[in-house]
Each structure stands twice: as C-alpha cells, then as structure tokens.
Structure 1
Amino acid sequence: MKKPILYIVIPCYNEQEVLPITCSMFLKKILELIDREKIDEQSKILFVNDGSKDNTWEIIVELSKKNPHYIGISQSRNRGHQNAVLAGLMEAKDKCDITISIDCDGQDDINAMDQMVEEYWNGCEIVYGVRSKRDTDTWFKRTTALGFYRFMNSMGVDLVYNHADYRLVSSRALEAFSDFKEVNLFLRGMFPLVGFKSTSVYYERHERIAGESHYPLSKMLSLAFDGITSLSVKPIRIIVALGILISLISFIGVIWSVSVRLMGHSVDGWASTISTICFIGGIQLLCIGVIGEYIGKIYMEVKKRPRYIISEKTGTIYEKEN
C-alpha cells in the first residue's frame, strides 16, 4: 500500500486564543507521521474558519504563509460546527486518501492519530475516536451525556458511545458519504450508516487548553434534538401509540360516564373534568409540537439550500456551494 495523503480537518470558530498554541501540536504530529513513513509528505492541516468574529482567519492565513502543511478555507458566515466539519471533509475528499477531523481546542488526544492511521493500514475505512472516561467532565455533564446516548439508542439511532467528531475517514468512505444530501446534519450518527470496515480507538480527553467552550447546554440540547429528528421517526410512532392509549382510556371513560348516568348516580365533577381537559390538551400540544418539528425539518430539506458556502481559502478567493 502506498503512503496515504492525510488531511487533518479542524473546524474553528473564534479560536484566536487557542489556535496559536494547538497549531504547532498538529504540525508536530503530522511531521512525526511523515518521518515514520505512515503518511505522504503532501499531507496537510486544513483549518475551516466557521465565520469567526475575531482574528481566527487572519491567524490561519499567516500560518499558511509560514508552512506549506497549513492550509485553510473560510465559510461566508457562521453555519455551526457540523457544517464546518462537513465543509472541510468535502473540500479534502478529492485531494487526499484519509481525513481526520478533530476540534481545535486541544481536548482530544492528538497522539490517538497514530493508532487511527495504523488501523487504516490494517484495512479500516472509518476509525472512531472514543473517550475512555469522562473524569474531566462535571457530574451534570457526565450524567446528561450518559442519558443522551441511552436515549438516542432507545430512539433507534446507531451511535458509537462516547464518540463525538474525532474520527478518521478514508476517501472511499467520504465519496459514499457525499451522497447523503440532508441539510439537518448529525455527523456522528450519519457515518455509521455509510458502512465499510470500522473500528474504535480509545483515548483520554483533556481540559481545554485556552479560550471558552463553544458548546453550552443549549447547543448540546439542540444537537441532540437534531440527531433524533434527522435519524429516527420513533417519536412519531410513540405519538401514535400514546394516541391509541389515550383514546382507549377515553373510550372506557365514556362508557363509565354513560353507565353512571343511566343508573342515576351522576355527580357534578368540575375538578375531574378540568383535569381531564388539561391533561389531554397538554398531550395534544406536545404531540403537535413534535410533529411540527419534523415538518420544519422537511421544510428545510425540500428547499435544498447549500449546507455551506466557502468564500475564501488561503492564497485565493472563490465560491463553492454544496
């Protein structure tokens, strides 16, 4: 097997504090792999600027001038982490043999790339980076993360437990993945759908080197909901089952009330009536909300708007839509 060309894809949003620190770590790792003849010397570090409002893009441009292993592309505006990763993967797809996507903050263990590349040499097309433990997380984050994975699995979504977006993907797998055209992206749930031979590499996650996290609770909840609605219709089926159950209970209630009335034992029940109306009304609004969310996703999909627009790349300016 010839030495593969590797592109390390790194999404960046307002990372001016951490990027000058971690960029040298990525360069050191890629040079190590080249020296050990595991990858080709044409391998690159591809930064994807996700519409940053600080000096992130300027830093990327300066890095590309200092070393040919650094390259970068910039989205025309902020589109979110998942779209930024996708933009980088699709940009690299036809220029390399393998990609490794990783965040810029230095939390994911860069040394896990060695084993990822080794697994590629062993024939794996997709290698998932999986956290071995969550000691650096707060109790709340550990608990909610565990609940998230269990809930997603119960919804029928095939997820690799404790895997985020740190993964190696071959160009052949990316070519197949490019046929997935949905706008509602949840990459960690979509890649298992591609198939091909895969495995996992385990590593310990560290504290963020500098700067602040760009994934507060609200964004994590939004990502989780996107994952459920993009990969599972089970909530709709739960609504159907709930509707049947409530209808059955209501039918029994109707029979009971008519029977009581015929026997002449009816008693005015204002409280029970109001409670029943409020309960059924709440269930109806919840179900309508879930269905409305799916309809909203369909609305976004049928318009087929581009998932990203690249406005610049290091050395030139151009436009590309996908």
Structure 2
Amino acid sequence: MSSLFIVIPAYNEAENIERTVSEWYPIVESHNKEGQSRLVIINDGSKDNTYELICKLAQARPLLIPLTKPNGGHGSTVLYGYRYAIEHRADYIFQTDSDGQTNPDEFEAFWKKRNTYDAIIGNRKVRGDGKSRKFVENTVCLLLRLIFGVKVPDANAPFRLMRTNLVKKYIHRLPKNYNLPNIMLTTYFVYYKEKITFLPITFKPRQAGTNSLNLKKITKIGYQAIKDFHTLKKSM
C-alpha cells in the first residue's frame, strides 16, 4: 500500500479548522494500511488560535500532525508541507486548503487514477469564489501559455494528488519561499510532458472566516508573478 500525506496550509482559520479536520482526517485513516499516512496541517503564523485548535484536535487523532511556522503566505506554507512530506518519505502528496471550498468526496476519483498518472490536478470549471477569482486564474493560464508555451485549464487548483518523487524532481527549482509553487509545479509537469491529467472538481464559496487577499494584494502578486515567470523560464 502507498502512504498518503494530505498537506493543508492554515492562516487565521479558527472558524474553519475543526470542520477541515473532521472532513479530511477520515480520508487519511482509510488510506493508512501500513500506518504511514498523515494529515499535515501547517499553521502559517496565524493571529488567532488556529494552531492551538489543531493541537487540541490532534490529541485524539494520532495521524494528525500540527506544524507551525512564521507567517510567510500560502505559497511558502505549501512548500513547507511538501518538503515535510518528502523528508518523511510519503509516497503521495495531496494538497488542499483549509477554507472549506473543496469537497473531500471527490478525493477517491483522484486516488483511483494514481497508477495511471503521476499527478492529478483539479479543474475548477465553476468557481464559487466569484468572477474576479476566475478572471485571475484565466489571466494566469494565458500568461503561462505566452511565457512557457503550456496550455492548462487550471494552474493553481488547491486539489491535487502528486507522486512525491515528482514533486521532489522539481521543487528544488523554486525559491525557498516562492509564493506560487502550485502554478509553477503545474507548469513544469506540462512543459516537461510528465504523466498528468486534470479532473473537474466543485469549488464552493469560503465556508467561514475572511479571505486575506484583496485587489491590491492580487495586483502586487500579479506583477511579481510576471517577473518570476520570466526568471524561471530562463532556467528551463
């Protein structure tokens, strides 16, 4: 059997975190035949009591691993989780978010394809988080096509199952705290013709709490992303 590490970043998710654990912990349990699978939740320097709640929930859940780090943003926290999974020799990494927008019931369709593809990535055809977010994703996909020559339906979906060895193959190409790792990993997978596929997923509105991104932050991230894309392209 294959070990599965589910990696979930969390920032100020006190209102969501108990629901997140209750939804995803049973999936880790059901894929823990050899006792090596884990639910890894990384607290990204939350200002609320997110980390304390994760630790409390872990007391009765031995497969739940609470980690914490200084605030560095979603991307650096995802990378932290990926490196943890690599270090602990997971066979597969599944990444999702802690805001309740993804559906755990859709995980098994991804898991069933693990022997056919090295990465299965979600495709949010309908997005519950608004037209502005869909516009940002469409813009990202256009930039990837123009800069890298890759065509993808959804580059940044927080619902992805990947062989750990595949992540390990490309993660060293990214700066340590790179803010858009999922976008670039998707790009590398497609650019280098790895065995990947995209499956449609549902994507709900945020279930509770406040989204930390706003138009000003998105614009700033966008300008930096274009610069980073051109820099990373030079090494490909």
TM-score, reference length from structure 2: 0.85
Tell me what 2:78 maps to.
Answer: 85
- Confirm whether residue 129 of structure 1 aligns to residue 127 of structure 2: no
- Confirm whether residue 56 of structure 1 aligns to residue 50 of structure 2: yes
Shift of 1:227: 2.6
Tell me what 1:108 maps to.
Answer: 102
> Any gaps of 5 or more consecutive residues in structure 2?
none
Tell me what 1:69 maps to.
Answer: 63
TM-score, reference length from structure 1: 0.64
Shift of 1:32: 4.0
Residue identity opposite 1:214 in structure 2: S
CA distance in 2, matches of 1:211, 1:155: 35
Decide whether aligned partners of structure 1 residues 181 and 143 sit closer, same or farther in structure 2, where only a CA change above 3 A counts: closer
Shift of 1:40: 4.5
Shift of 1:80: 0.6
SS of residue matched to 1:90 = helix
Of structures 1 and 2, the one scoring higher in RCO (CA 8 A, sep 6+) is 2
CA distance in 2, matches of 1:163, 1:108: 16
Tell me what 2:93 maps to.
Answer: 99
Q: Is the 8 A contact 2:73 2:179 kept in 1?
A: no
Match of 1:155 among 139, 147, 152: 147
Decide whether aligned partners of structure 1 residues 51 and 146 sit closer, same or farther in structure 2, where only a CA change above 3 A counts: same
Shift of 1:221: 2.5
SS of residue matched to 2:87 = coil
Shift of 1:100: 0.6
Q: Is the 8 A contact 1:112 1:201 kept in 2?
A: no
Q: Which has the higher helix share?
A: 1
Shift of 1:159: 6.1
CA distance in 2, matches of 1:139, 1:78: 28
Decide whether aligned partners of structure 1 residues 112 and 218 sit closer, same or farther in structure 2, where only a CA change above 3 A counts: farther
Please, what is the CA RMSD of the aligned residues?
A: 2.3
Residue identity opposite 1:68 in structure 2: P
Decide whether aligned partners of structure 1 residues 98 and 140 sit closer, same or farther in structure 2, where only a CA change above 3 A counts: closer
Moved over 6 A (4+): none
CA distance in 1, matches of 2:126, 2:44: 29
> Any gaps of 5 or more consecutive residues in structure 1?
235-322
- Confirm whether residue 232 of structure 1 aligns to residue 223 of structure 2: no
Residue identity opposite 1:180 in structure 2: R
CA distance in 1, matches of 2:148, 2:188: 12
Shift of 1:62: 1.1
Shift of 1:84: 0.1
Summarize the alignment of residues 187-266 of structure 1 with structure 2, pairs less than 5 Å apart: 187-191=181-185, 192-194=187-189, 195=192, 196-232=194-230
CA distance in 2, matches of 1:54, 1:176: 35
Residue identity opposite 2:121 in structure 1: Y
Shift of 1:158: 3.6
Decide whether aligned partners of structure 1 residues 159 and 47 sit closer, same or farther in structure 2, where only a CA change above 3 A counts: farther
